[in-house]
Amino acid sequence: MTHAATQIDVWILVFPNFLLLDATGPAQVFASANDEAVDAGLAPPYRVRIAAPGGGSVASSSGVSLLAEELPAAGLDWATLIVSGGRVRDLPSASSPVLDWVRGASRQVARCCAVCTGAFVLARAGLLDGRRVVTHWQDVEALRAEHPALQVLDDAIHVRDDKFRTSAGISAGMDLALSLVEEDLGRQRALAVARRLVMFLKRPGGQRQFSAELLAQSQDDGVHARLAAWLRPRLRQEVRVEEMAEACALSVRTLHRRLREEADLTPARLLGRLRMESACRMLERPGVSVKQAARDCGYGSEYNLRRAFAAQLGVLPSEYQERFA
């Protein structure tokens, strides 16, 4: 990013009940880039500023407050804007004057970014129509339903479309900020920031792998939970759908319908998710080989396990395992 300014202004937009890490995570990345520069005898490259309607103390959803400046009316040339997220119901609505400010700011800034559900704010401001975007995996369908003109991706950590950048859930805002540091200062300085923060410069895989523990936990009771409990000790076996239905005292047709209603799954997909959940847990333990995980979780071969990991999580089993080495 080339411009005449000696520092890059980073404005982070917050509002009542924003998600704290959506704002403070990126802020710390830029602050660490400043620390690295000062340690090297260089001028700090960033000036990080928190902004909110009216300014003053703004409480996050965690109860921790940040002291914000009033939304600037001008002076945003070459700046980077980052919109934090929150619960969708707490975000500025389509009638909010905040969206008018976001529209105006987007015409001035060099980069207009959103963390997590902050993508809803940019979308409600009419800035993302036709663009590739990403948000938290739990809110993907809601974003698609509310804004059908968007190209909502399922699995990316962060996405760039022209000057607009969006990122996945919460901590992915730090990945996005780190990518901006790399763009501004180069790979070596971004790597130094990543080392300081104990982060990947670029995370392998997408956001699906980070919800691996939740793959088979959509409900606590009902047919889904009963069938999952019956299947878990049988993951190494070949299990027919007729056996699953019999275990739940249901017909095959009723089993399909009930699983669709409760968890939007078929019996086969539930079995696949349970096997993936089990494989992830095994690979998180020291001393477990990929071959052993494939055998004990019902995949039969390392090849089948690699294919399943690539399809469902976007990484290889060995790459997933390296996170816990």
For the cut 70, the answer to whether the pLDDT of residue 207 exceeds it is: no
The pLDDT value recorded for residue 217 is 47
Pair 22, 84: CB distance under 8 Å: yes
Instruction: Reply yes or no on whether the pLDDT at 213 is more than 60.
Output: no
**DSSP single-letter state for residue 170:** T
> Exposure pattern of 98-114 as b/e (b: 16+ CB <10 Å)?
bbebbeebbeebebbbb
pLDDT value of residue 313: 75
| 8-13 and 80-83 strand pairing | parallel
What is the C-alpha separation between 220 and 115, in angstroms, rounded?
A: 30
pLDDT of the residue at 79: 96
Query: pLDDT-based confidence at 221, cuts 50/70/90?
Result: low
Q: In this predicted model, what pLDDT tens digit does every residue of 104-127 receive, in sequence order?
A: 999 999 999 999 999 999 999 999
DSSP secondary structure, 231-300, as one string = HGGGTTS---HHHHHHHTTS-HHHHHHHHHHHHS--HHHHHHHHHHHHHHHHHTSTT--HHHHHHHTT--
Burial per residue of 231-257, b for 16 or more beta-carbon CB atoms within 10 angstroms, e otherwise: beeebeeebeeeebbebbebeeeebbe
pLDDT in tens, 7-23: 999 999 999 999 999 99
* Residue 146: exposure state from Cβ atoms within 10 A (0-12, 13-18, ≥19): middle
| pLDDT the model gives residue 29 | 96
The token duo for 81 is 């804007």
Amino acid at 32: S
132-191 residue pLDDT tens: 999 988 898 999 999 999 999 877 888 999 999 999 887 889 989 999 999 999 988 998
Kindly state the tokens that stand for 127.
């800035």
Beta strands in the chain (DSSP E): 8-13, 46-52, 56-59, 65-70, 80-83, 111-114, 132-133, 151-152, 158-161, 164-167
Number of neighbours of residue 36 by Cβ within 10 angstroms: 21
* Measured distance CA(194)–CA(67) in Å, rounded: 27
Residue 288 carries which side chain, given as an amino acid letter?
V
CA-closest candidate to residue 27, choices 188, 189, 173: 173
Q: What's the predicted TM-score (pTM) here? A: 0.69
d(CA 263, CA 30) in angstroms, rounded, equals 40
Mean of pLDDT over the chain = 88
Helix (H, G, I), strand (E, B) or coil at 188: helix
Asked if residue 241 lies in contact with residue 255, where contact means CB atoms within 8 angstroms, the answer is yes
d(CA 26, CA 9): 13
The beta-strand segments (E) located in 150-244 are 151-152, 158-161, 164-167
**CA gap 309, 94 in Å, rounded:** 39
* pLDDT tens digits, 37-88: 999 999 999 999 999 999 999 999 999 999 999 999 888 999 999 999 999 9
Angle between helix 187-197 and 172-185 (nearest 10): 150
C-alpha–C-alpha distance, residues 57 and 68, integer Å:
6
